[in-house]
Amino acid sequence: MAAVQFRKQQADIINYKGGKVGVSAVPGSGKTFTLSHLAAKLVTRLSRRGALDTEEVLIVTFANAAANSIKAKIAEILAAQPGMLPHVGYRVRTLHGLSHDIVRERPSLVGLAEDFQIVDERVSAKILDEVVSTWLRVRGGDLLQRYLHPEQESNLPRLLNHEDNFPALAYNIADQFIRQAKDRELAPNTLRTLIDSRPKDAPLLPLASFGMEIYEAYQRGLQMRGAVDFNDLVRMALAALNSDSHYLKRLQTRWRFILEDEAQDSSRMQEKLLRLLSSDTNWVRVGDPNQAINTTFTTANPIFLREFLEERGVKSFKLSQAGRSAPPIIDLANQLVRWTVNEHPTPELRTAFLAQDIQPVKADDPRANPVEGKAFVNYRPGEKVTPERELEMVVASLEKWLPNNPDKTVAVLVPENSRGFKLAELLRERGLPFEELLRSTSATRDAAARLRLALEMIASPATLTGASKLGTLYRDFWFKRHLGAESEPPEEFLQWRDGVVKALSNCRRIEGFLNPPIGVSPLAVLDLPTDLEDHYRADLEDFRAMMARWLSAVSLPIDQLSLTIGADLYSDPVDIALCYKIAQLLRGMAAADPSARLPQFVEELDKISKNQRKFLGFDDSEFGYTPPAGVITVATMHAAKGLEWDRVYLLSVNNYSFPSAQPYDNYMSERYYIRDGLNLEAETLAQLETLLSAESYTEGEASAQARLDYAAERLRLLYVGITRAKEDLTILWNMGRFWKTGSEREQQPALPMVVLWNYLEGDKSR
């Protein structure tokens, strides 16, 4: 630790002794670095006092990825100290992880057994989907009719029945309603009482009534499984602490210091919980209000951090120096803030940012700003750029840049996953090296897909499908591990592989290969040359033995079968851990549905491998991501938060992805078939608020406010995108995919993009 040099601003924070502290940090200022060192220092302090068996430093952050990266950082710092067991003395948690810890320790306080289940996204989505579908079948028409755009009358049946239309919207509405209700610590029966007790002449709240009924049925669905969902956990954690003051006291003692990272994403519940746990004393909150990009339809809000910074008794610090980016990029980011705060044409959006500049560090700083750099806005007034053209431009630029910069990192950042998938497709076509940082890692999908393939083979071994799966297993798994293990296997091996795959796939007596009668060669049933060299023969024989072994495990319960196969299938620790997790998931499925057999398990794995299911505990952000040099990272701007690259491209910066509350803007949350541009998710939450506050409800107000909130968040998202670049930054836009359907659906360059272009042009002329 002695070798680490801190900047003055960082040192002030590292020297923290106690009390409430708020830190407002700019991007690249070493926020996580500082926080990790502070945590390590506090752990050492507890250790010296011999307090580690009762006390800990608690670090709370927003996302799993951030939690993992801080954890790794603290472990690295503490590893330098002798006699410290890894991970003792501190815990890094997300809000849900922390709530889980609290409930898990005393489940009985909230009526749970010790082995209570937390349903993952998979199960919770399934329950909600069933509940919403059932409701819609009976009363969906009435609800949609109430909000239907007059021009869409004739489309009502289609909108109601096509799952991407109203059913998807209704699902979102219900999901938002339930989240919000849980955040407000409201049980379904409380809501029912509130609705039932409204005066007869009060305006109807159809969306809130819908939400409440779905909420009731959803909770019943959880109850039947003896389970809770993620959002229940937070509510229950608070309930547990409030119900047992001794327990609260014990946890207050245990978490002697609470450090909160990404505090701009804090929510009402998080603040409430941490205030309770810290007994409003040793609490350090660090964040950048200008990077609050998780506010839309979540309960996160940067206002909590902003108010905390002003709170009495809170010592405020700034981390305003950042060594990440070259001066032109810092300048552009600062300009975006300044323009928004002072000149945004929509006055309500001027508060989207906290007026704070990023300042470069001193030239002699060990992490000084790159000297050279360039910011470029790819905009020409009047020019129209199709989505295809935008991708072409980026790919062309990368094709030129990559070979000359093999040691540098580069990212293409997109506002939405779908755009990233398109780009990835093109990069694959062009043979450019890239990694996706999109919805889920391909590693997760691969691991599940491999197991699925093996189970499929076992499920139908005697059919041609089974034989063809066997061929695929040879090609995609076995060959890659053995003859094809080198990066460029000899052509001869590749021919052998193709021959084997063909022979297996066409084999009509596969049992003769897998379990040949005594004295008969397994290869006799395969259409392969008879004069095979020994190493080919041995290769296939080994493969056969393994497959026969897998098959012989077919009688085992599904978790054990998966583990048996997994032991051969996986070598990477993450994959093995994932396999273990999959095995448990399938076991749970078997317990819940005793009629499930291999085909049903295969189906489930298919969903996981096709990315329709997400795992609890092993989601995409299991590990902090380190961008590799010479490989393009394709990521959403959200996923890019906390990361940096030498060169960054920002795509789709148009008025659809980055609206500015201007009359010509379109909004994702407003469906074309809903009247008056209503945002039904926002209207639902407004109706819920009306129930609680007894204030009157005016239709449309919430939709208008939602536009402003969204525009503000997207400004901050653009800021996050810009500040990911160390040296080079290019901002691009496109006309959106509906430009062919008429000019009214054609997208414009985002207003802030044009503003930044103007600024750079002015700069040039200066």
Partner 1 sequence: MSDFLSQIDDSRLNRRTFLIGPAGTGKTTYATQHLLRLFERGVPTDRVLVLTPQITIARPYQNAVHGSAFGGGTVSILTLSGLARRLIEVFWGLIAEPMGFANPGAEPIFLNVETAQYYMAQVAQPIIDEGYFDAVNVADARIVSQLLDNLNRAALTRFPVDQVAERLINAWGGERDSRRPEVYRKAAEIAEAFRARCKSQNLLDFSLMLESFRAHLMPDPSVQKFILDYLDYLIADNVEEDNPIAHDFIAWFTPRAKGALVICDTDGGYRNFLGADPDHALDLENVCDETVTLTESKVMSMPISALAASFNRVLGRTFEAQSVSAPLTEAVTLKTARFYPQMLDWAIEEAVKLVESGVSPREIVFLAPFLNDSMRFTLSYKLKALAAQKGISLETLSHRPSRALRDEPPTRAMITFAALAHPGWKIRLPIEDVADALYQGIEGIDPVRARLLAEIVYRRQGDNHILSPFAKINPDMQERITYLAGERFDQLREWIESYKAQGEYEGLMPVDYFWRRLFGEVLSQPGYGFHDNLEAGRVIAQLIDSAQGFRRVLYPVGSDWETAGREYVSFVNARLLPALSPQRWFEEEADAIFLAPASTFLLRNRVVDYQFWIDCGSSGWSERLEQPLTHPYVLRRDYPTDQVWSDELEEDTQKDALYRIVIGLTRRCRKQIYLAVADLGESGYEQRGMLLRVLQRAVGGTDETSTSESSDQVEP
Residue numbers 62-91 binding partner 1 by CB under 8 A: 71, 79, 82-89, 91
> Residue 433 carries which DSSP code?
-
For residue 414, the SS3 value is strand
The closest of 337, 366, 331 to 350, measured between CA atoms, is 337
| Encoded tokens for 4 | 């680490």
Question: CA–CA separation, 116 vs 93, rounded Å?
Answer: 20
Cβ distance to partner 1 smaller for residue 402 or 590: 590
> Cα–Cα distance between 413 and 434 in angstroms, integer?
13
Identify the residue among 100, 306, 450, 714 touching partner 1 (CB under 8 A): 100
For partner 1, the binding residues in 589-608 under the rule CB under 8 A are 591, 594-595, 597-599
The one segment of 100-108, 259-267, 306-314, 341-349 that binds partner 1 by CB under 8 A: 100-108
One of 2, 3, 8, 114 touching partner 1 (CB under 8 A): 114
Nearer to partner 1, 615 or 710 (CB): 615
Binding mask 505-524 for partner 1 (x = CB under 8 A): ----xxxx-xx-x-------
Q: Is 554 in the site for partner 1 (CB under 8 A)?
A: yes
Give least dist CB 629 to partner 1, A: 25
Residue 638 sits in the site that holds partner 1 (CB under 8 A): no
Nearer to partner 1, 152 or 584 (CB): 584
- Minimum distance, C-beta of residue 506 to partner 1, in the bound complex (Å): 16
Span 532-551, contacts to partner 1 by CB under 8 A: 548, 551
Residue in 421, 477, 493, 580 binding partner 1, rule: CB under 8 A: 580
Question: In b/e form, how buried is each residue of 468-493, taking b as 16+ CB within 10 angstroms?
Answer: bbbbbbbbebbbeebbbeeeebeeeb
Binding mask 170-209 for partner 1 (x = CB under 8 A): ----------------------------------------
CA 16 – CA 215 distance, rounded (Å): 45
Contacting partner 1 (CB under 8 A), which of 341, 576, 704, 708? 576
Measured from the CB atom, is 167 or 624 closer to partner 1? 624
395: CB partners within 8 A, 6+ apart: 423, 426, 427, 430, 432
* H-helix segments, 570-700: 573-592, 598-609, 637-640, 680-693
Q: Which of 3, 113, 138, 371 binds partner 1 (CB under 8 A)?
A: 113
Q: How far is the CB of 282 from partner 1 (least distance, A)?
A: 19
Q: Of 538-546, 613-621, 636-644, 681-689, which segment contacts partner 1 by CB under 8 A?
A: 613-621
Closest C-alpha to 754, from 439, 463, 381, 409: 381
Residues with Cβ < 8 Å from 425, sequence gap 6 or more? none
Among 66, 277, 319, 459, binds partner 1 (CB under 8 A): 459
403-439 b/e (C-beta count within 10 Å ≥ 16 → b): eebeebbbbbbbbbbebbebbbeebeeeeeebbbbbb
Asked if 628 interacts with partner 1 (CB under 8 A), we say no
Instruction: Specify the residue, 86 or 366, whose C-beta has the smaller distance to partner 1.
Output: 86
What does the alpha-carbon distance between residue 319 and residue 8 come to, in Å, rounded to a whole number? 9
**In the complex with partner 1, which residue's Cβ is closer, 235 or 306?**
235
Judged by CB under 8 A, the stretch of 136-144, 190-198, 222-230, 388-396 that binds partner 1 is 222-230
Residue 274 Ramachandran class (φ > 0 left, ψ -120 to 50 alpha, else beta): alpha
Tell me the window of 125-133, 457-465, 494-502, 702-710 that interacts with partner 1 (CB under 8 A): 457-465
Of 390, 559, 646, 728, the residue at the interface with partner 1 (CB under 8 A) is: 559
Residue 19 CB, nearest distance to partner 1 (Å)? 25
**Cβ distance 275 to 11 under 8 Å?**
no
> Residue 529 — left, alpha, or beta (φ > 0 → left; ψ -120 to 50 → alpha)?
beta
Q: Which is nearer to partner 1, 57 or 332 (CB)?
A: 57
- Nearest residue (CB) to partner 1, 449 versus 548: 548
**Applying CB under 8 A, which part among 19-27, 411-419, 568-576, 645-653 lies near partner 1?**
568-576
Q: Looking at 32-40, 103-111, 326-334, 364-372, which segment touches partner 1 (CB under 8 A)?
A: 103-111
In the complex, what is the shortest distance from the CB of residue 55 to partner 1, in angstroms, rounded to a whole number? Answer: 9
Sorted by sequence, the CB contacts under 8 Å of residue 453 that are 6+ apart come out as 469, 472, 473, 476, 477
Site for partner 1 in 30-69 (CB under 8 A): 47-48, 50, 52-54, 56
Taking the complex as a whole, how short is the minimal distance between the CB of residue 504 and partner 1, in angstroms?
Answer: 13
Q: How far is the CB of 194 from partner 1 (least distance, A)?
A: 19
Identity of the residue, 108 or 693, whose beta carbon is nearer to partner 1 in the bound complex: 108
CA distances from 286 to 73, 305, 308, 449, 621 (A): 17, 8, 10, 40, 21
CB of 372 to partner 1, least distance (A): 39
Minimum CB separation from partner 1 for residue 87, in Å? 6
Please count the residues of this chain forming the interface with partner 1, following the rule CB under 8 A. 92
Determine, following the binding rule CB under 8 A, whether residue 276 of this chain makes contact with partner 1: no
- C-alpha 688/C-alpha 702 separation (Å) is 11
230-249 residues near partner 1, rule: CB under 8 A: 239, 243-244, 246-247, 249
464 binds partner 1 (CB under 8 A): no
Cα distance between residue 377 and residue 28, in whole Å: 22
Residue 556 interacts with partner 1 (CB under 8 A): yes or no: yes
What CA–CA distance (Å, rounded) separates 644 from 628? 11
Q: How far is the CB of 77 from partner 1 (least distance, A)?
A: 13
Contact mark string toward partner 1, 321..360, x via CB under 8 A: ----------------------------------------
Amino acid found at 707: R
Q: How far is the CB of 139 from partner 1 (least distance, A)?
A: 24
Q: Compute the least distance from the CB of residue 457 to partner 1, in Å.
A: 10
Nearer to partner 1, 276 or 631 (CB): 276
Taking the alpha carbons of 735, 738, 740, 744 in that order, is the dihedral positive or negative?
A: negative
For the bound state, the minimum distance from the C-beta of residue 82 to partner 1, rounded and expressed in Å, comes to 6
CB of 99 to partner 1, least distance (A): 12
Structure tokens at 468: 């063809």
Starting at the edge strand that comes first in sequence, how are the strands of the sheet with 255-260 ordered?
90-94, 56-61, 255-260, 283-287, 20-25, 314-319
Query: Does residue 101 belong to the site contacting partner 1 (CB under 8 A)?
Result: yes
The answer to whether residue 107 forms part of the interface with partner 1 (CB under 8 A) is yes
Minimal CA–CA distance to 123: which of 233, 217, 229?
229
Q: In what order do the strands lie in the sheet containing 374-377?
A: 374-377, 725-731, 645-650, 410-414, 632-636, 434-437
To the nearest 10°, report the CA torsion of 722, 726, 727, 729.
-20
Diameter of the chain measured on Cα atoms: 91
Closest CB to partner 1 among residues 157, 599: 599
* Residue 109 interacting with partner 1 (CB under 8 A): yes
Q: Which of 303, 314, 449, 616 binds partner 1 (CB under 8 A)?
A: 616
Question: Tokens 């049903």 appear where?
Answer: 600
**Other CB atoms closer than 10 Å to residue 748's CB: what's the count?**
20
The distance of closest approach from Cβ of residue 246 to partner 1 in the complex, given in angstroms and rounded to an integer, is 4
